[in-house]
Amino acid sequence: MSVLQFYLNGFRTGDPHDLYRAREQGSDAIQNDVPEEVDVLIVGSGPAGLALAAQLSLFPNITTRLVEQKAERLTLGQADGLQVRSIEMFEAYGFSERILKEAYHINEITFWKPDEQNPECIVRSGRIKDTGDDLSEFPHVILNQARVHDFFLDVMLRSSTRLQPSYSRKLKQLNLQPAKDGSSRDTSSVQVQLERTDPGHEGQLENVRAKYVVGCDGARSAVRQALGLKLEGDSANQAWGVMDVLAVSDFPDWRTKVAIHSASQGSILIIPREGGYLVRLYIELDKLSANERISSKKISADQLIETAKRIFHPYTLDVKEVVWHSVYEIGQRLCSRFDNLTAQEAESRYPNIFIAGDACHTHSPKAGQGMNVSMQDGFNLAWKLASVLNTTTSPSILHTYSTERQKVAQDLINFDREIASMFSARPKKTNDDEDGIDPAEFQKFFEKQGLFMAGLGTAYAPSLVTANPVHQELAKGFPIGERLHSAPVIRLADAKPIQLGHIVKADGRWRVFIFASAQDPAVPASPFQLACKTIAEVVDKFTPEGADVDSVIDVRGILQQGHASLNINDMPAIVWPQKGKFGLRDYEKAFCAEAVIGHKDIFTAREINREKGCVVVVRPDQYVANILPLDDRNGLEKFFGGFMRAKK
């Protein structure tokens, strides 16, 4: 359930989502023009571009523009799988509940193989849960990419900047402009020329100077080409077809995610779609020769249907409507870096041109990774750009975008290459058949790779914004570098059950969770109280003058005692602060680790040291950045001091 606060600076009527994002800032003008100067210019309104734009739109002091070559918003998307990690991210943006209500929930995967008695027929060989127990509080779901875009666009439209994409804009030129005085390595800008393609404005040129440019413009990225970067990799010379259909079939697992290996007709992956009737079929086609392109085969929807019918035998398939279809070649390609600086240049400059999503990594759609990883690219970069533009951090953190996300993309491509080859392999006929795939091994691969397929395999290496795991033993269930694995807690002030991870919103703020030791937290000399005092001093050092105490670093306390035995008045000011123009108290920062029905308490579930407690630092993109002892007086200041700017 979403955690939303509003009315801090006065009561207003209307939709609280608008209050939170827009009207408290007082902007009603929709921003879709392209001014001559912007802070961030995003090229491309795909998943990466929208995840980036949606977060940046929440900052009224940052001028962001999103330009798109197409004439209008996406109405029929290609991608549809949404990993549990993506739903966790959507919670940060505030629309996870809308996604879950509309999407199809994947609960199981079944596997089908040739019947040993009659190989031309298929039989079910296995069944597994789609998502393992306690991987996340959210499920794996299916929803049209266009609807995901709509939710991001809604965040932008309701935001403080009322941002909308500027459509029918084609990138013509991109040039880096050095600082006029040549005195600083972080004041250069990017000169961009756009060409309008909309009726009545064809050929009109627009010149824009941007502090930062991000290319989210797909596999044929003009931004990537302007940087002289290439997608490097290979093709498996294997063709596949895909179609969304409304059909009648007696196949018993029609509304389940299914992997089918037939004896000689190829393979099919079935993905049920939202709405209860629509189904997506990924259909294996013929191998391609070394220099052959799938486009030359001119494969029709009828050909895809006939191939699918042969694979489904002995079951029937009667397609009533083909909503969408396409054909593609399996290939994995990756850029060597995701920004405009070589390793040597990075020693003396900060990056200000980036690429994200399909602009820097492409792969097959088999594991449903593409859209998910692309959105995480945008999520990773957004808070870093925002904090630099808000002058709360050094531009040095921008180096971490390419190093972090390029490694994730490489891991994805390695995984994709393996799963794609397994899908395309024919079933083994004998144990000595080295070219075939054993259906049982294929099922085991899915079970083993469940964490990665859920989007939870990312582990960022130590960097400016991710510490070395020196004190990992204090909270073994929160691995440093991995996303914060949420668990339920009870809010002290009102006994409301809440998922702790849902506190981390896409607002650019860092979170510091203070897990108290077993001692009474109300005692002034307790480890919890002393830690709160020290942390409050660190927070004050990095909070701009006149800003709310939680505007940069948001501190929360998690106590081991039950809520009925504690008094909110005994809490330290850092977890019961006064904020806003009225000095109102924030009652939503102290929690109790009481077991919620069906769940262990958070200390047990995440293996947090009850005797010592600890401090868990979480990045604005929900990844664990550091774990420290409660009595470490210098560790937190040293960590934040490595990249944050102290107030003057």
Secondary structure of the chain: what % helix, strand, coil (to 5)? 30, 25, 45
114 among known catalytic residues: no
Q: Which of these is catalytic: 20, 93, 282, 401?
A: 282
Q: Is the alpha carbon torsion for 638, 644, 646, 647 positive or negative?
A: negative
| Backbone φ/ψ region at 357: left (φ over 0), alpha (ψ -120 to 50), beta | left
Exposure pattern of 294-309 as b/e (b: 16+ CB <10 Å)?
beeeebebebbbebbb
Q: Is the peptide bond before 252 cis (omega within 30 degrees of 0)?
A: no
Q: Which of these is catalytic: 365, 395, 521, 572?
A: 365
Which pair of structure tokens corresponds to residue 474? 């204090």
282 among known catalytic residues: yes
Q: In whole angstroms, what is the distance from residue 32 CA to residue 156 CA? A: 11
CB 600 within 8 A of CB 443: no
Which pair of structure tokens corresponds to residue 549? 């105490």
CB 553 within 8 A of CB 563: no
Question: By three-state DSSP, how is residue 205 classified?
Answer: strand
273 among known catalytic residues: yes
Collect all residues with Cβ–Cβ distance below 8 Å to 253 and sequence separation of at least 6.
Answer: 110, 112, 124, 270
Which pair of structure tokens corresponds to residue 613? 């407690």
Number of H helices, E strands in the chain: 14, 26
Collect all residues with Cβ–Cβ distance below 8 Å to 431 and sequence separation of at least 6.
Answer: none
CB 148 within 8 A of CB 378: no
CB 594 within 8 A of CB 490: yes
Residue 235: CB atoms within 10 Å: 14
CB 191 within 8 A of CB 177: yes
Q: Is the peptide bond before 629 cis (omega within 30 degrees of 0)?
A: no
CB 573 within 8 A of CB 536: yes
CB 267 within 8 A of CB 310: no
Query: By CB neighbour count within 10 A (0-12 exposed, 13-18 middle, 19+ buried), where does 74 fall?
Result: buried
Q: Which of these is catalytic: 39, 80, 244, 358?
A: 80
Q: Which of these is catalytic: 65, 162, 273, 349?
A: 273
Q: In whole angstroms, what is the distance from residue 135 CA to residue 283 CA? A: 30
Catalytic residues: 80, 273, 282, 365
